[in-house]
Amino acid sequence: MASEFHGDHALVHGALRAAPVHAVGRLPARTPEALERMVRKVTATPPAPPRVIHFLDGDPKWGVAINTVCDRLAGWCARSDFARGYEVLRTSFNPVTRGSRADAARCLTHGAALWIYVGHGQRHSVDGLDVAAVTLLDGGASLPLALMACCHAGAFDAEDPALAETWMASAGGPRAVVAGSNVTDPRLNPALALALAQAALKPGMTAGEAFLLAQRAVLGAPTAPWAAALRMAALPGLRRAHAGLYNLLGDPSMLLRPDLSHTI
């Protein structure tokens, strides 16, 4: 985080201090052939996804007390009212969590309305999912949007693609991905995840609009009391940095719920 220019926000808006106004998206294609495949993917009419949300929380890798707090926070988030009318399937890799184990890759083969991961992340993996797994996913599943609220999974500053880019480029990957490109803060990630989830499920919402609302939630927009309390523990400069740390891979004008767009 030595430079402001580690993400798309500062490049487009001029500085991290500027409030997010434009819905910025990027197609992660490194060759003309990959770009052609990507354009076909984001412009195709997908099958309607099931009314299911996959919520994954990773292993905090700390002591029992902090792991327990993380488990309870994840439980509150998975049970919050953003998911009215949807079945939330929680997959937890926290060692103190009971009854929530599943195969993160296998749960995607039938599609979902939304896939959310909050936890630790590396360039090529998060808990339960890595580059090798996402390249093998079935191409028939429908997943409009995935969020990786973690460190590094959305990195784009190396010759080899990171997890978010690899997953979106794969045949069975989501049509849009929001992911962090550098070190992120665990106090701020839940507010971003909650806001993105609430927005993504609204009729007529686009990927770009949902991403803007998520950025604004990190900067100070109204959110759930528990998420606001976590956010206040982070300094304002760190909150502004998160506007640049997270990036949207995909077409910002893409409707996330095209089957309900007529109800706007």
pLDDT tens string 221-252? 778 787 788 888 888 888 887 777 889 999 99
Q: What pLDDT does residue 2 have?
A: 47
Q: What local confidence, expressed as pLDDT, does residue 176 receive? A: 94
- The bridge status of strand 114-118 relative to strand 129-130 is unpaired
pLDDT > 70: what percent of the chain? 89
Query: Average pLDDT of 19-26?
Result: 84
Q: For residue 240, which amino acid is it?
A: R
State pLDDT tens for residues 171-213.
888 999 999 988 888 888 888 888 899 899 888 899 999 999 9
Taking alpha carbons only, the member of 237, 144, 161, 243 closest to residue 199 is 144
Closest CA to 11 of 262, 244, 249, 248: 244
Residues 6+ apart with CB under 8 A from 120: 58, 59, 60, 61, 126, 127, 150, 151
User: Is a pLDDT exceeding 80 seen at residue 137?
Assistant: no
Q: Which domains does the chain have, with CATH numbers?
A: 47-255 (3.40.50.1460)
C-alpha distances in Å from residue 234, one per residue of 152, 229, 242:
19, 9, 11
Which pLDDT band holds residue 139 (cuts at 50, 70, 90)?
Answer: low
Give the model's pLDDT for residue 157.
78
Number of Cβ within 10 Å of residue 200's Cβ equals: 27
Q: Rounded mean pLDDT of the chain?
A: 84
Q: pLDDT value at position 250?
A: 93
Q: Is 259 left (phi over 0), alpha (psi -120 to 50) or beta?
A: alpha
What are the structure tokens assigned to 98, written together?
């009971």
pLDDT of amino acid 24: 85
205 with 256: CB under 8 angstroms?
yes
Check: CB of residue 249 under 8 Å from CB of residue 165: yes
Give the count of beta carbons closer than 10 Å to the beta carbon of residue 226: 16
Give the total residue count for the chain: 264
Q: How confident is the model at residue 140 (pLDDT cuts 50, 70, 90)?
A: low
Examine the pLDDT at 264 and tell me if it is beyond 50. Answer: no
pLDDT category of residue 72 using cuts at 50, 70 and 90: confident
- Find the helix or strand (DSSP H, E) in which 115 lies: strand 114-118
- Say if residue 263's pLDDT is above 50: no
| pTM of the predicted model as reported, rounded to 2 decimal places | 0.90
Residue entry with tokens 């969020």: 147
* DSSP H helix total and E strand total for the chain: 9, 8
Specify the pLDDT at position 147: 95
pLDDT at 206: 94
CA distance 214 to 69: 23
> What tokens does 44 get?
């195709």
